[in-house]
Structure 1
């Protein structure tokens, strides 16, 4: 078993870099490239460039798999590199490459970049390939499939990594308070009652924790509450914020009640302190993902995992899928072989030697019973529950460029309300107005 490679911050890059790259991507669409093979010749020698977006062990695992594909297909050469010094820098590197017609055939990309990549006019459309029954496209989660189809018109690549938020509970804290462990049938009111019972001011123990940093950590923890109540992030045409609805107000009022009225929520300004306190038996529950399990096991924390509490039986969660973006070089041979390589890399047999071997959740539902994944589950208890919870990841966060500003607006509103400095309805309406400006830019 290897350490889970990714922190939560890496999974949700909503930085100035993403905003700055938007203009570059728009300019790139105007730049032409050289014409390659116009007719497919599967036996012709071809070189494809692959940016892994990884470092160290993760990069080497992918490089080894690429070498194996080359052995099976002697006419194919895969030029493998990390692409940039960090995954976060890949978008800027891609943008510059689009402008100079010097970009890869395939690159790891954060899911939040998908709309920007599609708008560059440099991506391939593999929708027809996804309809091949042998590809078993439906084995990927709904959120993952939606992320690689950002506009709903084109499929710009393959899922590369999936995750989701589940409920992790501290057995030591529950046992000390005499509270029964959470079950998969819990509703949010059960959760609230338990959090209040677990809270003990004399020992600075809290029932739950929530980020008030104003970051995407603050935002994406809110989306399951909104979705479960029937709310949406955006209007149907994607041009306006829709979260300041009755469902949004009800969701934020629920969290405000826990934080302000009950005093059962540790409000984390850092996005990192709450996990440390949980591991130290000072917080009873956190809603988080597989990236936490290695540290909890290392700390010897006695924990359990289940799905998120639900609303009327709806246990919907949020996922942050990343993708293998595929790019068009006006060359039929490169297009064919990069698609074949991506399909091969994301097949169950190879994914077990990449995502599963590295401590990520498996991409495909068919991997859940595999020996490789069961070995990881033995090392990281609860990983199987998080993997199965992918079925509850039925919606994807928007990938529109304006989501960065939208996220900042609602995150600040949530943070203010949970700290007792605003009313849910007013705060969300103000945030929606700010979000609309970001979406219009």
Structure 2
């Protein structure tokens, strides 16, 4: 879900390199593949090294990595543009929330047979990754990056307030109490990004799932989040923000992490991507699973995927074979652990590289274990981005504008149902 490291600042170099069929492909020479990865700096270097290693050990294939677009956020739009012109990369990095939309495109190669092959080890990937990758029985992509949400807390601030560190069985009421007691002397107990974007929304969905609720109806035609349980969850945040004054409301989404790093926020709901910067700022931190309802500490994962585009059977098959190699534990360790991301498969945790990884980044293993608490995917509806926007605006209205939670959710449900209706 998150854009990691410097991935948000991309170059356009090699945008269209190798998009069409090459003469060597047509003549039966090496299969030439273009890999749009959307990474720069250290991430791009690892990509280049992986491609070079594969090319060396597979002389019948030549993979050319290319950035693909100026920003990962624009990858879907850029791919659609080149598809309209009859050209596409062979492999591209795509956000998991785009999978339902991509599943409708006939140019997206069906990877079901690839992942179900015994040598792939599909069951070795966490259920939340598989759930995002598969849409209506079709595997649209294979995991590239996975994360999840937990609570990162400042031990020094907890000690100063005389509070016990959060435990695995803590509740949302416990979270509120701790935030209130941490709020003093210019310090907020916690923070919430109220941008109205998915950054706002995905922090709310686990609270619905933990209470046995759903986001949309099983047929995907209507919203299902406007319930008393959801109003209770949003009401908790509203009371914390407006009554307790214990929540820093971050209206651009970029301030709460620096405030945590500087000791001005006691707890943040974030993922593993935040830890490297926190370590750089020498914060004495801890990580715990999300607070829960009735012992349920379900979280949400944000898998991103590698997607293959069908540029002919030879190139599509070669791309699928490459992804089989790329996602094996040894390559996974180089691509994910080496960049401070969670492993995408369980077998990677058995490697010496993983032992070093969790030693270098304390409590990263809590996030790895927390993948077991990520059991559901966001709704597989092609209009999810617009659907999410309606909910994000409602959350912001409740926390910033003071709209009663039940009223805000009812308004969001009406607007979200309109969005879903247009998608039929």
Give the TM-score taking structure 1 as reference length: 0.87
- Conserved? CA contact 2:298–2:375, under 8 Å: yes
Q: Are residue 363 (structure 1) and residue 344 (structure 2) matched?
A: yes
Per-residue CA distance 1:97-152 (angstroms, 9 max, x = gap): 21122112111111122122221211111212222233221222222111211x32
- SS at 1:189's partner residue? helix
Which of the numbers 317, 320, 323 marks the counterpart of 1:339? Answer: 320
Partner of 1:290: 272
Aligned pairs (5 A) from 1:92-107:
92-107=77-92
Mark the CA change 1:185 to 1:228 in structure 2 (over 3 Å): closer, same or farther.
same
Q: Are residue 156 (structure 1) and residue 140 (structure 2) matched?
A: yes
- Conserved? CA contact 1:146–1:152, under 8 Å: no
- Conserved? CA contact 1:53–1:109, under 8 Å: no
Q: Are residue 228 (structure 1) and residue 210 (structure 2) matched?
A: yes
Mark the CA change 1:436 to 1:9 in structure 2 (over 3 Å): closer, same or farther.
farther
In 1, the alpha carbon distance for the partners of 2:324 and 2:109 equals: 14
Which of the numbers 376, 379, 383 marks the counterpart of 1:402? Answer: 383
Deviation at 1:252, TM superposition (A): 1.1
Deviation at 1:419, TM superposition (A): 3.1
In 2, the alpha carbon distance for the partners of 1:249 and 1:105 equals: 45
Which of the numbers 179, 183, 186 marks the counterpart of 1:195? Answer: 179
Partner of 1:50: 35
The size of the alignment, in residue pairs, is: 408
Deviation at 1:208, TM superposition (A): 1.4
- Conserved? CA contact 2:3–2:72, under 8 Å: no
In 1, the alpha carbon distance for the partners of 2:74 and 2:266 equals: 37
In 2, the alpha carbon distance for the partners of 1:277 and 1:47 equals: 47
- Conserved? CA contact 2:6–2:40, under 8 Å: no
In 2, the alpha carbon distance for the partners of 1:268 and 1:214 equals: 11
Mark the CA change 1:270 to 1:298 in structure 2 (over 3 Å): closer, same or farther.
same
Partner of 1:82: 67
Moved more, 139-148 or 259-268: 259-268
- SS at 1:240's partner residue? coil
In 1, the alpha carbon distance for the partners of 2:292 and 2:411 equals: 28
Which of the numbers 282, 293, 301 marks the counterpart of 1:319? Answer: 301
- SS at 1:368's partner residue? helix
Deviation at 1:70, TM superposition (A): 1.7
Runs (5+) with no aligned partner, structure 2: 10-19
Partner of 1:182: 166
- Root mean square deviation, CA, Å: 2.4
Aligned pairs (5 A) from 1:90-129:
90-129=75-114
